[in-house]
Each structure stands twice: as structure tokens, then as C-alpha cells.
């Protein structure tokens, strides 16, 4: 992966072991590629990775929607942003919106 492709990915930090009085937190880094379109198979693969990330991070529905919008680029970006905002404002769960 060269430097020109760094903006294709977003890196998240996961806390694997919380900090204690005696030791700092242990963390792991997880990269996810931004979704810029593709086939249905590409979407299914990417959305599975996104759901795994959201579960590991313990995101609320609002955090999932915010991060989803941040990770989608291209033709879908505006459409997903509007749909996510409407879902949050309408009280839909992320799973209702996402599926």
C-alpha cells in the first residue's frame, strides 16, 4: 500500500485491555477501506467489515450512522448521509436503516 492510497483507509483504535493504575491500556489498530462503490458483493463484504468494527467499538446507533457517512464516498455519499440523518431523526435503529 503506497502513500497515494493512504486516504483510501481510516484507522480506528480498539482498546483490548483497559488501563489500570499499574498499566496503560492495551490497544489494537483496525483499518477499514472507505466504500466508493462497486458490486453487490463488494457492498456485502464491506458492510460486514463495518458491522464488525461497529460491534467491536461498541457504537450507538447514532455513532454508527455518523461513521457510516464518514466512510462512504462517491455517488452514494449524499444519499447515505440524508438517509442516515432521516433514520436517526425518525428514531429508527441502525439495523432498521442499514438493512
Taking only the tens place, the pLDDT of each residue in 32-41 is 999 998 888 9
- Rounded to an integer, the average pLDDT of 50-65 is 92
What percent of the chain clears pLDDT 90, i.e. is strictly above it? 53
Residue found by looking up cell 483507509 in the block = 9
pTM score, whole prediction: 0.77
Q: Which domain holds residue 10?
A: 3-98
Average pLDDT over residues 14-27: 95
**Residue 97 cell numbers, joined:** 436503516
C-alpha span between 77 and 37 (Å, rounded) = 10
67 confidence band (pLDDT: 50, 70, 90) = very high
The β-bridge partners of 15 are 27
Categorize the per-residue pLDDT at 88 as very low, low, confident or very high, splitting at 50, 70 and 90.
confident
> Are 33 and 46 within 8 A, CB to CB?
yes
Residue 22 scores a pLDDT above 60: yes
The tally of domains found in the chain comes to 1
Residue 69: C-alpha distances to residues 1, 50, 66, 93 (Å): 24, 11, 5, 15
**pLDDT-derived band of residue 98, with 50, 70 and 90 as boundaries?**
low
Amino acid at each position: 500500500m503506497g502513500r497515494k492510497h493512504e486516504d483510501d483507509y481510516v484507522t480506528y483504535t480498539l482498546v483490548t485491555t483497559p488501563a489500570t493504575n499499574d498499566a496503560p491500556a492495551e490497544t489494537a489498530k483496525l483499518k477499514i477501506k472507505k466504500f466508493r462503490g462497486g458490486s453487490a458483493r463488494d457492498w456485502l463484504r464491506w458492510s460486514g467489515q463495518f458491522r464488525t468494527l461497529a460491534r467491536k467499538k461498541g457504537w450507538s446507533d447514532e455513532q454508527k450512522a455518523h461513521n457510516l457517512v464518514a466512510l462512504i464516498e462517491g455517488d452514494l455519499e449524499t444519499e447515505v448521509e440524508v438517509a442516515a440523518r432521516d433514520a436517526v431523526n425518525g428514531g429508527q435503529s441502525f439495523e432498521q436503516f442499514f438493512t
